[in-house]
Amino acid sequence: MSEPKRERPWIMRTYAGHSTARASNELYRTNLGKGQTGLSVAFDLPTQTGYDSDHPLARGEVGKVGVPVSHLGDMRTLFDGLPLERMNTSMTINATAPWLLALYVALAEERGENVGELRGTTQNDLVKEYLSRGTYVFAPEPSLKLTTDVVAYTVEKVPHWNPTNVCSYHLQEAGATPVQELAYALSTAIALLDSARARVPAEIFPEVVGRISFFVNAGIRFVEELCKMRAFTVLWERICKERYGVTDEKLTRFRYGVQVNSLGLTEPQPENNIVRIVLEMLAVTLSKDARARAVQLPAWNEALGLPRPWDQQWSLRAQQILAFETDLLEHEDLFTGSVVVEREVKALADAAWAEVEEIERRGGVIRAVESGYLKQRLVESNAARLARIERGEQVVVGVNRFVESEPSPLVENLDEAILTVDPAVEAEQIAALNAWRKQRDASRVEAALRGLKDAASKGENVMPASIAAAHAGVTTGEWAAALREVFGEYRAPTGVAGASMPSATSDATRVQALRDTLTGLEARFGRRPKLLVGKPGLDGHSNGAEQIAIKARDVGFDVVYEGIRVTPEQLVASALEEGVHLIGLSILSGSHLVLALDVLDRLRAAGLDVPVVVGGIIPDADAKRLLAAGVARVYTPKDFELSRIMEDLVALVAERDAA
């Protein structure tokens, strides 16, 4: 009997990058040596949001959630010894995608490598930044223009490059249902292709369609997630053929990469997370007709902090075992003809298409972002999800059920169970940045920035001017500042104002008791107790802050929530102006010590004595330092009961009043 023919496995990646370009380069070499077949570069928040490492908003954020890349020199170091022509490099970069691609192309040109042979992906999806991740820089219209610039440039100059990953991953992380994830991603792709169709010659537009890829999420309900992926293939083919007249199957194939769900990873009993990760991987690998082209898995301890190389290796080995030890790749699609799968796929596709049509009726995805419609829908979906978990209707093992546990040997020493970034990294990066600025030709930099602003002002493609700026030594902050002069700044709707908290009969007594207490405090204060919810720094993951703001408003607080990306100085000024009784800080980037302590110092200097609580992915040792410094409460992912958190907050205000 002949051996069955095995399919080639998907590209195996690990989302990685931290501290410095040199440290990240060493990590990439190590991971590739372990059998990883592609790179997935994580950039730090200043790089993602267009700031240099010495900008005030970058304080505490440098090298925390990714690698800082401020200029061509950093890009040289990051890819030192790695042949770009033979790499498949995914860059998780959006608002500054034209710039990071320009640096990558400039490096290839500098090395004498063939730019036309570069392979990889820039995520380059701005819509989800307004809805979930918050690393947008410009308003939706100019952002769409910049995204389209990358598409138009790559289809001509870098034909093997995927210019955009329409990214529904973060939508699910923000609470999107499978239907919403399908609809919002496909609506984004429609907006992008409509924009590109007006920018590229008609004869090459089908190639643009063929280069669009997606980056999706796979949650724990892996049957539903598998059906979601098959529904994606059905709807994408419909869009390609019916809206754009592209029928070549090579160009209409739904191409996607995936990182499985990080939202469901738990801080309690974190050893369970590897089981969740493997099950979620099955959703995007079992079905051959809807199999991912690239897979990256989170690490088991991401709810605790930054994973170490060993943690990332464990997730890589899970992929390798599935691909090389099992017989999965030896068979045709396992689900063709399945009555259950066909029924579920049709139901998801029909519901998602109805939502796509609703978005189109509202003027398309850009208008739906600007109006706040999409953000509010996501905030409400996430509120409903959290309410189900709090009521026990949605079981999370180790969190709201089966919570009894033996001590986990994996976290016996929690301080060693995660990777920490040396605080000296930020100072070193700033010193290196200043040295870079001093050694370059200032007149050449100024000319390059004038050329960039000129191209943007005239509506020209900014890619050629960006590549020239990269060669001239322009920095990330300078590139973004030049375009900010042309396009202006933007603050997206928060989704909090019109959102409502799902009602729960089981929670009604607790909520009413809180309302009664706050009503009594209002009588004494002469106004409702006021809570300021703030996100200092560049962390744009606003899901937790939004849910706290909505729940606090529901129980009777007067809530001030200004959205993302504010400095400690601005937060304290707002606290003074609003006369708040309590401040809640949300920081998920690992910068909690620097930013929270800065807020405390500024409050004391201003003579404002109000309780401060902090939420985020905060190791126990850091939580103790925050509490010792004067923070009133620290909340981490294990604190999922919003009603209990509200009881704490109301008690803090009442205690302060009694004192």
Residues 527-551 have pLDDT tens digits of 999 999 999 999 888 888 999 999 9
- End residue of a domain, out of 379, 401, 423: 401
Nearest to 187 by CA among 377, 332, 439, 344: 377
At 610, list the tokens: 């109000």
Q: Is 175 left (phi over 0), alpha (psi -120 to 50) or beta?
A: left
Rounded distance between C-alpha atoms, residue 203 and residue 7, angstroms: 33
443: Cβ–Cβ under 8 A, 6 or more apart, which residues? Answer: none
Rounded distance between C-alpha atoms, residue 616 and residue 595, angstroms: 12
pTM above 0.85, yes or no: yes
The more confidently predicted of residues 144 and 260 is: 144
The more confidently predicted of residues 471 and 301 is: 471
Is the pLDDT at 415 greater than 80? The verdict is no
Residue 450 forms part of a structural domain: no
Residue 254 forms part of a structural domain: yes
Residue 475 forms part of a structural domain: no
The per-residue pLDDT for 499 is: 60
How does DSSP assign 588-625, residue by residue? -SS-HHHHHHHHHHHHHHTT----EEEESS--HHHHHH
Is the pLDDT at 109 greater than 80? The verdict is yes
Q: What is the mean pLDDT of residues 35-61?
A: 91
Here the CATH number for the domain that contains residue 140 is 3.20.20.240
The more confidently predicted of residues 304 and 76 is: 76
| Choice among 429-438, 497-506, 513-522 with the minimum mean pLDDT | 497-506
Indicate the pLDDT class of residue 264, thresholds 50, 70 and 90: confident
Is the pLDDT at 357 greater than 90? The verdict is yes
Is the pLDDT at 157 greater than 80? The verdict is yes
Looking at the structure, do residues 393 and 512 belong to the same domain, yes or no?
A: no
Looking at the structure, do residues 253 and 376 belong to the same domain, yes or no?
A: yes
Q: What are phi and psi of 559, to 5 degrees?
A: -110, 130
Percent of the chain with pLDDT strictly greater than 90: 73
Provide the CA 212 distance to its chain's centre, in angstroms: 19
**Three-state DSSP state, 307:** coil
Is the pLDDT at 493 greater than 60? The verdict is yes
Is the pLDDT at 431 greater than 80? The verdict is yes
Q: What is the mean pLDDT of residues 282-294?
A: 93
Is the pLDDT at 1 greater than 70? The verdict is no
The per-residue pLDDT for 498 is: 59
Is the pLDDT at 507 greater than 90? The verdict is no
The residue written with tokens 């023919």 in the block is 5
Looking at the structure, do residues 510 and 397 belong to the same domain, yes or no?
A: no
The per-residue pLDDT for 460 is: 97
Instruction: State the helix-helix crossing angle for 442-457 and 476-487, rounded to 10 degrees.
Output: 30
Residue 611 forms part of a structural domain: yes
Here the CATH number for the domain that contains residue 555 is 3.40.50.280
The per-residue pLDDT for 6 is: 79
Looking at the structure, do residues 371 and 516 belong to the same domain, yes or no?
A: no
The more confidently predicted of residues 230 and 379 is: 230
Is the pLDDT at 3 greater than 70? The verdict is no
At 204, list the tokens: 């090459």
| 456 CB-contact burial (10 Å; exposed 0-12 / middle 13-18 / buried 19+) | buried
Domain, as residue range, for 520: 505-658
The per-residue pLDDT for 503 is: 53
Is the pLDDT at 27 greater than 90? The verdict is no
> Contact 46/57 with Cβ under 8 angstroms?
yes
Indicate the pLDDT class of residue 302, thresholds 50, 70 and 90: confident
The per-residue pLDDT for 205 is: 96
- End residue of a domain, out of 335, 368, 401: 401
pLDDT winner (highest mean) among 423-437, 464-478, 496-510, 528-542: 464-478
Nearest to 78 by CA among 89, 64, 65: 89
The more confidently predicted of residues 411 and 631 is: 631
Residue 320 forms part of a structural domain: yes
> Contact 158/116 with Cβ under 8 angstroms?
yes
Looking at the structure, do residues 45 and 187 belong to the same domain, yes or no?
A: yes
DSSP state of 322: I
At 521, list the tokens: 């405090």
> Contact 251/209 with Cβ under 8 angstroms?
yes
Looking at the structure, do residues 215 and 342 belong to the same domain, yes or no?
A: yes
Looking at the structure, do residues 254 and 397 belong to the same domain, yes or no?
A: yes
Residue 348 forms part of a structural domain: yes
Q: What is the mean pLDDT of residues 246-261?
A: 91
Residue 263 forms part of a structural domain: yes
- End residue of a domain, out of 401, 420, 454: 401
Looking at the structure, do residues 227 and 367 belong to the same domain, yes or no?
A: yes
Is the pLDDT at 506 greater than 70? The verdict is no
> End-to-end alpha-carbon separation of the chain, Å?
84
Q: Which residues are catalytic?
A: 15, 169-170, 535, 539, 541
Looking at the structure, do residues 380 and 516 belong to the same domain, yes or no?
A: no
Mean pLDDT of the chain: 92
Rounded distance between C-alpha atoms, residue 196 and residue 156, angstroms: 13
Residue 327 forms part of a structural domain: yes
Looking at the structure, do residues 385 and 524 belong to the same domain, yes or no?
A: no
Q: What is the mean pLDDT of residues 474-503?
A: 84
Instruction: State the helix-helix crossing angle for 178-197 and 339-361, rounded to 10 degrees.
Output: 50
The more confidently predicted of residues 177 and 38 is: 177
Is the pLDDT at 504 greater than 70? The verdict is no
Looking at the structure, do residues 376 and 518 belong to the same domain, yes or no?
A: no
Number of domains in the chain: 2
